[in-house]
Chain A
Amino acid sequence: MGLEEKLPSGFLLTTVEQAAGWVRKSSVFPATFGLACCAIEMMTTGAGRYDLARFGMEVFRGSPRQADLMIVAGRVSQKMAPVLRQVYDQMPAPKWVISMGVCASSGGMFNNYAIVQGVDHIVPVDIYLPGCPPRPEMLMDAILKLHQKIQSSKLGVNREEAAREAEAAALKALPTIEMKGLLR
């Protein structure tokens, strides 16, 4: 985006990466994307007992243009899917997505005509959070894990390198159907 993307690989870039990651993770602005049951738990997380304010992100943004985290909380219907993608496109980069609950992650128990079987069909997902609905503690755990991810995210040439590595790893990964072991 800015100057930091133009830095050459090396000590300077990693230092900037650490600083940028620290700043970014410390003030993540979530966009409200409450859909169903999980939205209530998401609101609970922001309310008194669980107090998401401790992590500097209690203010849920009404407008996607001021947000950099989308918590997809609930089942995404076929009718909602284009809306969700539009909201995601309106968010400025860098942006992250937490898929909250099984319905958003995989369709969950609603394996039918109406529900998109996993929000990763529409937007790239950073954290999949299981549960129906996940407890507020689980959501906070997911958010903290995302903070770690943001902290260690790369910039500039390092980011391109990381993306290449991730793609190579994904191409080599064993498909689920060919995996052995317990049925899960």
Chain B
Amino acid sequence: MSDTTPGTTPGDDGAVPAPRESAGPEVIGVRKGMFGARGGGDTSGYGGLVRTVALPGPSHRPYGSYFDEVADELEGALEEQGLLPSNAIEKTVVDRGELTFHIAREHLVRVASTLRDDPALRFELCTGVSGVHYPGDRGRELHAVYHLRSITHGRTVRLEVCAPDADPHVPSLVSVYPTNDWHEREAYDFFGLVFDGHPALTRIMMPDDWQGFPQRKDYPLGGIPVEYKGAQIPAPDQRRSYS
């Protein structure tokens, strides 16, 4: 963990997304043992097992398929606007036949509007934002994932932006893709991601007075134990589990 997430600048208290180690896979956590048993004696013999959990790391050219063309066009278009592509695009991942651009959050709106407006890119349909919470990814806990689809060219591309828990701000894409209005409200409702520039960022699914952001990993599932004849079965998140 520590070697992939160099400490943030002192005094900032992690309020800026931590710089990304561009070489290897992206480590998001460590898994210990085999059967998820905690707090009791380990009889499985797997208690000493330690595995790092890592998402696929950055890819290198050629990316294959239409990905090189999209990357070239995007980089070229960003350069034309006077923006250094390496500043905006933190890394590019090609995994399982999908292209992902990790974008620095301050450049998200510029990148998205370029992807939408450039005739050679023309990603006119945004299928919303999906929040993901990686508590183990220190300094970059909250990820907002956008999937863009080009009807013109028949392509899809994924944008990923991250923000630290201490400063969960991401620029809103409503000005570029108005369809993201409700999607961003949903991501705010469930993850506490604050989309700066959203016209009315309020809760959408949960009641207005709800406390907390229920789909974050640190928010419990909230189930209750179920009573049967002579036995009580704990809620799914309280049971012993594998992995």
- Residues on A lying within 8 angstroms of B by beta carbon are 78-79, 106-107, 111-114, 117, 176-184
Query: Taking the complex as formed, is B11 at the interface, i.e. its CB lies under 8 A from any CB of chain A?
Result: no
- Contact of A112 with B221 in the complex, beta carbons under 8 Å: yes
- Contact of B236 with A111 in the complex, beta carbons under 8 Å: yes
* Other A-B pairs, 14, CB within 8 Å; known A106-B226, A179-B230, A181-B229: A107-B224, A111-B221, A111-B224, A111-B236, A113-B219, A114-B214, A176-B227, A176-B229, A177-B229, A177-B230, A180-B230, A181-B230, A184-B228, A184-B229
- Contact of B226 with A183 in the complex, beta carbons under 8 Å: no
Of A79, A106, A112, A177, the contact of B222 (CB 8 Å cutoff): A112
A183: chain B residues at CB < 8 Å are: 228-231
Query: Taking the complex as formed, is B223 at the interface, i.e. its CB lies under 8 A from any CB of chain A?
Result: yes
Residue picked from A113, A114, A181, A182, most chain B C-beta under 10 Å: A113
B235: chain A residues at CB < 8 Å are: 111-112
Interface size class of B (residues with CB under 8 A): 20 to 34
Q: Give Cα distance in the complex from A112 to B205, angstroms.
A: 15
B228: chain A residues at CB < 8 Å are: 176, 183-184
The main secondary structure of chain B at its interface with chain A is: loop
* CB contact under 8 A between A179 and B229, given known A111-B235, A111-B236, A113-B214: yes
The main secondary structure of chain A at its interface with chain B is: loop
| Residue interface mask B74-109, A partner, CB < 8 A = 1 | 000000000000000000000000000000000000
Of A79, A111, A177, A180, the contact of B223 (CB 8 Å cutoff): A111
- Can you pick out 27 interface pairs between chain A and chain B where the beta carbons lie within 8 Å of each other? A78-B206, A78-B207, A78-B210, A79-B205, A79-B207, A106-B226, A107-B224, A111-B223, A111-B226, A111-B236, A112-B221, A112-B222, A112-B223, A112-B235, A113-B219, A113-B220, A113-B221, A113-B222, A114-B214, A176-B227, A177-B229, A177-B231, A179-B229, A179-B230, A180-B230, A181-B229, A183-B228
Q: Give Cα distance in the complex from A112 to B227, angstroms.
A: 15
Query: Taking the complex as formed, is B232 at the interface, i.e. its CB lies under 8 A from any CB of chain A?
Result: yes
B205: chain A residues at CB < 8 Å are: 79
A179: chain B residues at CB < 8 Å are: 229-230
A177: chain B residues at CB < 8 Å are: 227, 229-232
7 cross-chain pairs, A with B, having the tightest CB-CB distances, nearest first: A113-B222, A111-B223, A179-B229, A79-B207, A176-B227, A183-B228, A113-B214
Q: Give Cα distance in the complex from A106 to B223, angstroms.
A: 12
- Contact of A178 with B230 in the complex, beta carbons under 8 Å: yes
Residue picked from A111, A177, A182, most chain B C-beta under 10 Å: A111
Q: Give Cα distance in the complex from A114 to B189, angstroms.
A: 13
Residue picked from B219, B229, B231, most chain A C-beta under 10 Å: B229
* CB contact under 8 A between A117 and B224, given known A176-B229, A177-B230, A183-B231: yes
Q: Give Cα distance in the complex from A56 to B223, angstroms.
A: 40
Of A79, A107, A111, A117, the contact of B206 (CB 8 Å cutoff): A79
Would you give the shortest CB distance from B241 to chain A, in whole angstroms?
A: 15
CB-nearest residue of chain B relative to A79?
B207
A184: chain B residues at CB < 8 Å are: 228-229
Of B207, B220, B229, the contact of A182 (CB 8 Å cutoff): B229
CB-nearest residue of chain A relative to B210?
A78
B221: chain A residues at CB < 8 Å are: 111-113
| Residue interface mask B115-139, A partner, CB < 8 A = 1 | 0000000000000000000000000
Q: Give Cα distance in the complex from A111 to B207, angstroms.
A: 18
Q: Give Cα distance in the complex from A79 to B236, angstroms.
A: 22
